[in-house]
Structure 1
């Protein structure tokens, strides 16, 4: 196989990065974007030359107007979609946001309408299924001191089949 043929087969995934923030009761922060009909977490796409952690810090600053310390990686999710192709999503631990930091939040005008903290059990009713699974897995990894490797928001079967059919895409 030539270098050009090999390069043509290499994945070039879009990457996105976000943070899970919690309040003192262990509830997770969910944003109300003005351009979506479901809740999101703070975060967005990784730009060229930017690491997933740098993107997370930048997106939190842009969306919330604060720069809290971002902690360790909680989850990596391979979640391709027919519309966007290969995607790899990173979730980092934003930790507990103290009230004094929450008081300084200035939401990104025109993109974020509001935010609130919700019990993990309520997340599935607030957002799309694959994001809800990703949040739940990342929160569990946080509690267990682990990093979750996910595919479509689900724990991957490590040591399982070496490849899946290219048409096997679960959007749920």
Structure 2
């Protein structure tokens, strides 16, 4: 089969982020200057970079924290009308101690603020599929098993 005979293949954008918690079980959210909603620390994977490496790099760039993230919690197929196909990874950032929280510094200027938010209150901070993805990741963490999602939710 030649290159011209190959069927079309998806070329999704890939992004990775970390789900951090405080000792009360609330989720760390960040407010980027360039978005109208809150998000988790993370960003796009660069060419030749693994999703895990991208997550670690993005956390260091955005929050000034050097962390060794845990296992992935969710992989989400989440195409967007204006961005095309996307595959999004969320890794377990663990629990941030008060000392870790004091060390947060917005190194790259992308973020305006951060806060911990209870899982029941996430809907007020971001688009529905993002909050579904965060809840799916938190559930995967509790049950000790990674999840596959589409548009933020596990398929039935």
Normalised to the residue count of structure 2, the TM-score between the two structures is 0.96
**Which is higher, the Rg of structure 1 or of structure 2?**
1
Structure 1 residues 143, 69: closer, same or farther in 2, change over 3 A?
A: same
Q: Deviations over 1:22-70 (max 9, x none)?
A: 0000000000111111101000000000000000000000000011220
Map of 1:29 onto structure 2? 28
Aligned to 2:89: 90
Could you say which residue in structure 2 is the equivalent of 1:163?
Answer: none
Structure 2 unaligned regions, length at least 5:
none
Contact kept in structure 1, 2:61 and 2:108, CA below 8 Å: no
TM-score, normalized by length of structure 1? 0.87
- The more displaced of 136-145 and 30-39 is 30-39
Distance in 1, Cα, partners of 2:27 & 2:19: 7
Aligned counterpart, 2:137: 138
Partners of 2:30 and 2:55 in 1: CA distance: 15
**Number of residue pairs the alignment of both structures matches:** 156
Moved over 6 A (4+): none
Aligned to 1:74: 73
SS at 2:112 equivalent:
strand
Question: Shift in Å at residue 109 of structure 1?
Answer: 4.8
For residues 49-68 of structure 1, what are the structure 2 equivalents within 5 Å? 49-68=48-67
> Which 5+ residue runs of structure 1 have no aligned equivalent?
158-172
8 Å CA contact 2:30–2:115 kept in 1: the answer is yes
